[in-house]
């Protein structure tokens, strides 16, 4: 990771009324896949636009492949960057092939490459049809083919799996893994989706323009200090009388133990020493729970702040709603 693909140093973007993105510092290395999570309006798209060089930061620095992406010098790098916008409807009256050929030509490629890409995303059968006849999933595939033009070194994908069926989603993640293996860096922007965990190296959680957390999944799990769920079976109440274990019993379900990460091994050893244990199920907090945790924490701290602020009644109401 000598030269980071993308680096943001205290970068932020504010408009007259709104801080769309507050000072963010991050780097993305070669061949790394970053998951960017947050609700609508969290600043994901703004961050992507900054990296794409479509808008300029109002503070801090943004560098892509060692250059400011909104500068003239970075021009030739643009053909090395692929982007899938969140809501794009391509020229409806053109055929899929015509659309992709147009975009390929703008990046300096030809119709031949366009056809290959359509094969890759599996819509060659419909390439002679007008885009207006395409289903949501086919449009999404066309968009992906567009983002893959020219084997980009950096890919920014906004909600890439929306509208894709499970098989297409699997194919998509396969492609991401392949690109990653070839040394491309990928930023996946989405709401938290099941199945995305295995394909990302690091996650970044944004909310209302602020960076809430960033790190590998296990780092985030640790930060969030979410308990591990352990479900032993065949013990018939021995857990409830074991003083070492009964403190961890979940209040809602008597068969389940909620154990902090650092005590997991101790509890497991204790459980294994018990007679009658015939199965054990251990589940660490998943990305969705980690995400919920950070959002909740953020909401609470804002709530706390507003209590001491001036606009108390209004803010409290908002928090409840």
- Give the nearer residue to another protein in terms of CB position, either 64 or 257: 64
**Strand positions, DSSP E, 193-265:** 202-207, 210-215, 228-233, 257-259
Site mask for another protein (CB under 8 A), range 19-58, x = bound: ------------------------------x--xxxx---
Instruction: Check binding of 111 to another protein (CB under 8 A).
Output: no
Establish if 206 lies at the interface with another protein (CB under 8 A).
no
By the 8 A CB rule, do 140 and 121 touch? no
Structure-token match 């991050």, residue found: 26
65 binds another protein (CB under 8 A): no
Q: How far is the CB of 146 from another protein (least distance, A)?
A: 8
Query: Could you tell me where the beta strands, DSSP code E, fall in the chain?
Result: 6-14, 19-28, 33-37, 59-64, 81-84, 154-158, 185-190, 202-207, 210-215, 228-233, 257-259, 279-283
Contact by Cβ (8 Å): 7, 27? yes
Residue 50 vs 211, nearer CB to another protein: 50
Site string for another protein, 172-201 (x = CB under 8 A): ------------------------------
Residue 137 CA to residue 126 CA, distance in Å, equals 12
**Helix, strand or coil for residue 9?**
strand
Q: Which of 162, 210, 274, 158 is nearest to 43 (CA)?
A: 210
Q: What is the chain's Cα-based Rg?
A: 24
Binding residue for another protein (CB under 8 A) from 29, 31, 60, 85? 85
Instruction: Tell me if 18 contacts another protein by CB under 8 A.
Output: no
Tell me: does residue 78 bind another protein (CB under 8 A). Answer: yes
Nearest distance from C-beta of residue 75 to another protein, angstroms: 6
- Which residue is associated with the tokens 């961890």? 248
Of 59 and 255, nearer to another protein (C-beta) is: 59
In the complex, the smallest distance separating the C-beta of residue 133 from another protein, rounded to whole angstroms, is 15
Q: How far is the CB of 88 from another protein (least distance, A)?
A: 4
Binding site for another protein (CB under 8 A): 15, 49, 52-55, 75-76, 78-79, 81, 83, 85-91, 93-94, 102-103, 105-108, 146
């Amino acid at each position: 990771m000598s030269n980071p693909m993308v680096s943001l140093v205290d970068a932020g973007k504010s408009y007259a009324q709104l801080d769309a993105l507050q000072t963010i510092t991050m780097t993305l290395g070669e061949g790394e896949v970053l998951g960017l999570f947050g609700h609508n309006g969290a600043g994901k798209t703004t961050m992507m636009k900054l990296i794409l060089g479509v808008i300029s930061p109002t503070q801090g620095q943004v560098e892509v492949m060692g250059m400011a992406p909104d500068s003239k010098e970075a021009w030739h790098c643009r053909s090395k960057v692929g982007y899938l916008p969140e809501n794009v409807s391509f020229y409806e009256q053109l055929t899929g092939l015509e659309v992709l050929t147009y975009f390929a030509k703008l990046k300096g490629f030809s119709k031949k490459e366009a056809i290959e890409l359509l094969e890759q995303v599996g819509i060659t059968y419909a390439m002679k049809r007008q885009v207006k006849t395409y289903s949501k999933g086919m449009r999404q595939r066309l968009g992906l083919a567009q983002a893959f033009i020219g084997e980009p070194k950096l890919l920014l994908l906004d909600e890439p799996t929306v509208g894709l069926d499970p098989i297409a989603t699997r194919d998509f993640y396969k492609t991401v893994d392949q690109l990653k293996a070839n040394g491309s860096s990928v930023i996946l922007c989405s709401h938290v989706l099941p199945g995305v965990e295995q394909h990302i190296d690091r996650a970044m959680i944004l909310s209302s323009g602020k960076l809430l957390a960033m790190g590998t999944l296990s780092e985030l799990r640790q930060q969030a200090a979410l308990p591990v769920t352990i479900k032993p079976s065949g013990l018939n109440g021995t857990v409830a009388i074991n003083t070492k274990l009964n403190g961890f019993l979940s209040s809602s379900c008597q068969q389940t133990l909620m154990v902090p990460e650092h005590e997991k091994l101790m509890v497991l050893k204790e459980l294994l020493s018990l007679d009658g244990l015939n199965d054990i199920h251990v589940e660490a907090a998943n990305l969705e729970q980690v995400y919920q945790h950070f959002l909740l924490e953020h909401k609470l701290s804002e709530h706390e702040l507003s209590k001491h602020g001036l606009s108390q009644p209004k803010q409290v109401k908002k928090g409840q709603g």
